[in-house]
C-alpha cells in the first residue's frame, strides 16, 4: 500500500473516530467540571436557591456564578428565533452546523441536549435521525429521535467539524521551538548528490533520530512573535515531506515516501509516530486571558470561514483542544463631528467578527479553525473566550 493511500485511509478512520468520540464527549461531558451530569432537576434547584442574576447586564457571565449554571442559561437564551421544530440529519452534516440551526451560539449545544436512556447509543447521531426542539417545564431542550431502532451497519455517526481543512495540522507538528530546531536531525546528503529530492528518492540524515521508523521532514519557517511583548513564541515548521528509515547509522539512510515540496539539504527531521488528537469537545474556553491572532495560515493578512489561524495563547494559558474564542476587531478612536461640547474623540470597542475553535495546542501557541465569520479575520485581531462575549 502506498503512503498516500495509507494517509487517506488514516484520514478516513480519523473522521469516523472523530464522529464517535466527539458526540459521546459533547453530550456527556461538563464544560467546566468533571462532576456528574448536570440534570434538569439540579438546574431548577440551583436556580431557585440563587440570589444574584446568572448573566450580568453586559451579557457576560456573573463573576460569582457557577460556570456551568451560567452556560446553561446562556444556552437557553441562545435559541434562534427561526429555529426549526425538528431537523433530519443528512450525510455530510456536522454537529456544529446542526447546532447552528437551533442556537446562535453553537458551542453551547451540550448545555441543552437531553439524553433519552431508552435509545440505543443516544450520544451518537446518524444520518436519518431527527433532532427535535422541545420545551421541558418551559426550558428549551434538544432531543434525539432515532430513525431506526438500530442504525444501519454502513452508517457512521456525523462528525463535529469538517476535518479536511485541518488534517495536515493534526498529523504533523506546526510549531517548534528554537531548541527543537537546533537539536533535531537534519538532511546531510541526497541520492547521487542531487540538489532536490522528492518521493522515492533516498536521503541521508545526521543527528539523533528520536526512535521509530517514520519521520516528517520540515523546513524552518517564520518566527511567531507576540505582538505586544515582541517575544518569539515559536517557529512555524513548514512540512516538506515524509520519510521512512531504511538503515540506521551515521548517516542514517531514509526513503522519501510522500512529498509536498522538494526536500533540501539542511531540512530537519522529526518523529511522527506519536498519535495526534483525533476528537474535540467544542466549548467556551475556560481561560479569561485575552489573546490575538498572530498568524494566518496560507494567507497574508485576512482569513474567512474554514481557514486556519494561530493564536498567542497555548496550553500554559489553560487553552485546550475544543476551546472556542470570539474574534473581535480592534478598538478604534472616532472623532465626534456632531457634538463639539463633548470630548472631541471617543473610543469604540471592536465588534465580534468570527468564532474560532482550537484544534491543536502547543505550550504558548494554538491553532484554530474559523467556524463562522461575518467579516474577514485580520492579523492581530483580538480573541476572548466565547463565554465572555455577547
pLDDT in tens, 191-215: 998 999 999 999 999 998 876 788 9
Question: Do the domain assignments include residue 106?
Answer: yes
Q: How far apart are the first and last CA of the chain?
A: 50
In the listed set 210, 244, 271, which residue is the last one of a domain according to the structure?
271
Question: Do the domain assignments include residue 239?
Answer: yes
DSSP 193: G
Q: What is the pLDDT of residue 388?
A: 74
Question: Do the domain assignments include residue 126?
Answer: yes
CB 350 within 8 A of CB 331: yes
Say yes or no: 95 and 185 in one domain: no
Q: How confident is the model at residue 17 (pLDDT cuts 50, 70, 90)?
A: very low
Which single residue is written with the C-alpha cell 431527527?
A: 130
Give the burial class of 39: count Cβ atoms within 10 A of its Cβ; 0-12 exposed, 13-18 middle, 19 or more buried.
exposed
Say yes or no: 28 and 139 in one domain: yes
Say yes or no: 192 and 127 in one domain: no
Say yes or no: 53 and 117 in one domain: yes
Q: How confident is the model at residue 121 (pLDDT cuts 50, 70, 90)?
A: low
Name the most confidently modeled range: 43-52, 180-189, 206-215, 334-343.
180-189
CB 161 within 8 A of CB 357: yes
pLDDT (average), residues 112-120: 71
Question: Do the domain assignments include residue 277?
Answer: no
Higher local confidence (pLDDT), 285 or 274: 285
Question: Do the domain assignments include residue 164?
Answer: no
Q: Which three cell numbers stand for residue 280?
A: 474535540
Q: Choose among 60, 48, 142, 44: nearest CA to 102.
A: 142
Q: What is the pLDDT of residue 292?
A: 95
> Does 27 have pLDDT greater than 90?
no
Say yes or no: 260 and 306 in one domain: no
Q: Which three cell numbers stand for residue 37?
A: 451530569
| 377 beta partners | 303
Q: Choose among 143, 42, 41: nearest CA to 85.
A: 143
Q: What is the pLDDT of residue 348?
A: 82
Q: How confident is the model at residue 18 (pLDDT cuts 50, 70, 90)?
A: very low
Say yes or no: 258 and 315 in one domain: no
For residues 383 and 62, what is the distance between their CA atoms, to the nearest angstrom?
A: 20
| 327 beta partners | 354, 383
Coil, strand or helix at 307: coil
pLDDT (average), residues 73-79: 88
Task: Report the C-alpha dihedral over residues 247, 248, 251, 253, rounded to 10 degrees.
Answer: 30
State pTM to two decimals.
0.67
Question: Do the domain assignments include residue 155?
Answer: no
| 52 beta partners | none
Q: How confident is the model at residue 31 (pLDDT cuts 50, 70, 90)?
A: very low
In the listed set 271, 296, 328, which residue is the last one of a domain according to the structure?
271
Question: Do the domain assignments include residue 166?
Answer: no
**30-to-18, 39, 198, 208, 358 alpha-carbon distances in Å:** 19, 11, 47, 43, 18
> Does 94 have pLDDT greater than 80?
yes
> Does 239 have pLDDT greater than 90?
no
Q: How confident is the model at residue 151 (pLDDT cuts 50, 70, 90)?
A: low
Domain residue limits at 308 = 285-388
Q: How many domains does the chain have?
A: 3
CB 159 within 8 A of CB 15: yes
Secondary-structure percent of the chain, ordered helix, strand, coil, rounded to 5: 20, 35, 45
Q: How confident is the model at residue 173 (pLDDT cuts 50, 70, 90)?
A: low
Say yes or no: 343 and 375 in one domain: yes
Q: How confident is the model at residue 338 (pLDDT cuts 50, 70, 90)?
A: confident
Q: How confident is the model at residue 236 (pLDDT cuts 50, 70, 90)?
A: confident
pLDDT above 70 coverage of the chain, percent: 73
Say yes or no: 24 and 138 in one domain: yes
Average pLDDT value over all residues in the chain: 77
pLDDT (average), residues 280-293: 86
| Tens-digit pLDDT profile for residues 245-259 | 999 999 999 999 988
Give the burial class of 387: count Cβ atoms within 10 A of its Cβ; 0-12 exposed, 13-18 middle, 19 or more buried.
buried
Say yes or no: 207 and 257 in one domain: yes
CB 287 within 8 A of CB 319: yes
Say yes or no: 266 and 295 in one domain: no
pLDDT (average), residues 156-175: 70
Say yes or no: 198 and 247 in one domain: yes
In the listed set 217, 248, 271, which residue is the last one of a domain according to the structure?
271
Question: Do the domain assignments include residue 168?
Answer: no
Coil, strand or helix at 164: coil
What CATH number has the domain bearing residue 373? 2.40.10.410
CB 106 within 8 A of CB 96: yes
Say yes or no: 307 and 371 in one domain: yes
Amino acid at each position: 500500500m502506498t503512503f498516500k493511500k495509507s494517509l487517506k485511509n488514516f484520514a478516513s478512520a480519523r473522521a469516523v473516530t472523530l464522529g464517535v468520540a466527539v458526540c459521546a464527549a459533547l453530550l456527556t461531558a461538563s464544560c467546566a467540571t468533571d462532576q456528574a451530569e448536570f440534570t434538569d432537576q439540579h438546574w431548577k434547584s440551583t436556580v431557585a436557591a440563587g440570589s444574584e442574576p446568572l448573566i450580568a447586564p453586559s451579557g457576560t457571565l456573573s463573576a460569582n456564578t457557577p460556570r456551568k449554571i451560567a452556560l446553561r442559561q446562556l444556552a437557553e437564551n441562545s435559541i434562534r428565533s427561526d429555529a426549526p421544530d425538528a431537523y433530519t440529519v443528512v450525510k455530510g452534516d456536522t454537529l456544529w452546523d446542526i447546532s447552528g440551526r437551533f442556537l446562535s451560539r453553537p458551542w453551547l449545544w451540550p448545555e441543552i441536549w437531553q439524553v433519552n436512556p431508552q435509545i440505543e447509543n443516544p450520544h451518537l447521531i446518524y444520518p436519518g435521525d431527527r433532532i427535535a426542539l422541545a420545551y421541558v417545564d418551559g426550558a428549551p431542550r434538544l432531543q434525539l429521535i432515532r430513525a431506526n431502532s438500530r442504525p444501519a451497519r454502513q452508517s457512521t455517526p456525523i462528525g463535529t467539524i469538517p476535518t479536511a481543512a485541518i488534517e495536515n495540522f493534526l498529523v504533523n507538528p506546526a510549531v517548534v521551538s528554537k531548541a527543537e530546531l537546533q537539536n533535531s536531525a537534519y538532511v546531510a546528503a541526497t541520492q547521487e548528490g542531487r540538489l532536490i529530492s522528492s518521493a522515492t528518492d533516498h536521503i541521508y540524515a545526521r543527528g539523533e533520530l528520536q526512535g521509530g521508523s517514520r519521520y516528517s521532514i520540515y523546513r524552518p519557517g517564520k518566527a511567531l512573535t507576540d505582538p505586544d511583548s515582541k517575544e518569539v513564541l515559536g517557529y512555524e515548521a513548514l512540512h516538506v515531506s515524509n520519510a521512512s528509515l531504511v538503515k540506521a547509522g551515521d548517516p542514517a539512510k531514509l526513503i522519501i515516501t510522500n512529498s509536498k515540496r522538494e526536500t533540501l539539504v539542511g531540512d530537519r527531521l522529526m518523529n511522527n509516530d506519536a498519535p495526534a488528537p483525533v476528537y474535540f469537545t467544542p466549548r467556551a474556553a475556560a481561560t479569561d486571558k485575552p489573546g490575538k491572532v498572530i498568524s494566518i495560515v496560507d494567507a497574508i493578512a485576512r482569513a474567512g470561514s474554514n481557514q486556519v489561524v494561530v493564536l498567542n495563547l497555548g496550553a500554559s494559558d489553560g487553552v485546550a483542544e475544543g476551546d472556542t474564542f470570539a474574534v473581535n476587531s480592534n478598538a478604534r478612536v472616532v472623532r465626534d463631528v456632531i457634538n463639539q461640547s463633548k470630548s472631541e474623540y471617543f473610543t469604540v470597542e471592536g465588534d465580534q467578527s468570527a468564532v474560532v475553535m482550537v484544534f491543536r495546542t502547543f505550550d504558548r501557541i494554538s491553532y484554530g479553525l474559523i467556524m463562522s465569520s461575518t467579516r474577514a479575520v485580520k492579523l492581530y485581531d483580538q480573541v476572548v473566550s466565547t463565554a465572555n462575549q455577547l
